[in-house]
Amino acid sequence: MANNFHAALILILFTAIVALLCLLTALRPELTRARGGKILAFVALCILPVLAVWAGANEHLERSTSTQFCLSCHVMANFGQSLYVDDKSYIPAVHFQNNRVPREHACFTCHTDYTMFGDYKAKLRGLHHVEVQYFGKIPKPEDIKLYTPYNNRECLHCHAGARTYEEASSHHKTPDLLAQTAANKLSCTSSGCHDTIHDVGTLGDATFWKPIGGGQ
Amino acid sequence: MTADTSTIERRIRWSGMLVVTGLVVQMLTLLWTHPLAFMCFILVGCPLVAAGILFYLYSLASHHTS
């Protein structure tokens, strides 16, 4: 977290310096009559702003993968709460509490496609979510569903090849179970196996884990 | 100072102001981790900076051709 804070601070300072150079050029355009002024104007109004915006876009994209970002919309609060359910059958909770996913990027780790532009597609959907948040009818948390069935690839990204996954007796109930799972023909989460996911509708009866020392 | 010089300097002033405004918006959005900050950056900050840069390049190009 400290590194992220320092990176953001450096970026803000860099942007401020670029803005000051632009302001100087804007307030004293007569500087551009000299050769040095022309170079200053080109660097200040063309090259440095591009660099600043590129760095800002990177920072914003990185931040948008954080758990804090995902849970900043009120409708997501229950999903965040479900990560602390004290019940090992809750798949997201057991992953979050045991550091099987990075806690600061917990949502993003399981909810984006592992493709080159997966996060950009997620951003486009995110824009739609913001529109619904402010201009549409916000659904109840328990009515929020995935756009497409959960892809086993997101599980196998980490579990494939793991000894505990491949040798678990429950994964050999049928001879081709692992192959069917790898081919995404048998869902990990909706085939009666690991089907307790966020279950935000039942949180009222749940007990919650309290991390020693506060946790995240 | 010719009228042509005056025109390009006025355009540089405008493009500088557009870029500064866009960069200020970017700085403000970086203070907040929220979807609205991201949208403000994409929909307000970036277009302002892009408009400023394009207007600056246009002013250079039109100055040279004139």
Q: What is the pLDDT of residues A30-43, one digit of tens each?
A: 998 899 999 999 99
What is the SS3 assignment for chain A?
CHHHHHHHHHHHHHHHHHHHHHHHHHHCHHHHHCHHHHHHHHHHHHHHHHHHHHHHHHHHHHHCCCHHHHCCCHHHHHHHHHHHECCCCCHHHHHHHCCCCCHHHHHHHHCCCCCCCHHHHHHHHHHHHHHHHHHCCCCCHHHCCCCCCCCHHHHHHHHCCCHHHHHCHHHHCCCCHHHHHHCCCCCCCCCCCCCCCCCHHHHHHCCECCCCCCCC
Confidence band of A181 (pLDDT split at 50, 70, 90): very high
> Can you say whether residue A166 is alpha, beta or left, with left for phi > 0 and alpha for psi between -120 and 50 degrees?
alpha
Q: Which residues of chain A make contact with B9, given a CB cutoff of 8 A? A: 29-30, 32
Interface of A to B at Cβ within 8 Å reads 8, 11-12, 15-16, 18-19, 22-23, 25-27, 29-30, 32-33, 41, 44-46, 49-50, 52-53, 56-57, 59-60, 63-64, 66, 68-69, 72-73, 123, 126-127, 129-130, 133
Q: What's the first-to-final CA gap in chain B, in angstroms?
A: 16
Question: What is the rounded average pLDDT of the residues A4-18?
Answer: 91
Of B8, B38, B52, the CB nearest to A45: B52
Question: What is the rounded average pLDDT of the residues A118-123?
Answer: 69
- Average model confidence (pLDDT) for chain A? 89
For residue A141, which of A57, A103, A197 has the smallest C-alpha distance? A197
For the record, the structure tokens of A23 come out as 């302001």
Q: Coil, helix or strand for B34?
A: coil
**What is the CB neighbour count within 10 angstroms for residue B10?**
12
| % of chain A beyond a pLDDT of 90 | 56
- Please enumerate in sequence order all residues whose Cβ is within 8 A of that of A141, keeping only pairs 6 or more positions apart, or say none: A75, A76, A77, A78, A79, A200, A201
- pLDDT tens per residue, range A46-77: 999 999 999 999 999 888 889 999 899 888 99
Q: Where are the domains of chain A?
A: 2-63, 76-203
B16 at interface of A, judged by CB pairs closer than 8 A: yes
Confidence band of A167 (pLDDT split at 50, 70, 90): very high
**pLDDT recorded at residue A161:** 92
Q: Which residues of chain B make contact with A129, given a CB cutoff of 8 A? A: 35
Which range marks the domain in which residue B32 is found?
3-65
Whole-model pTM: value is 0.83
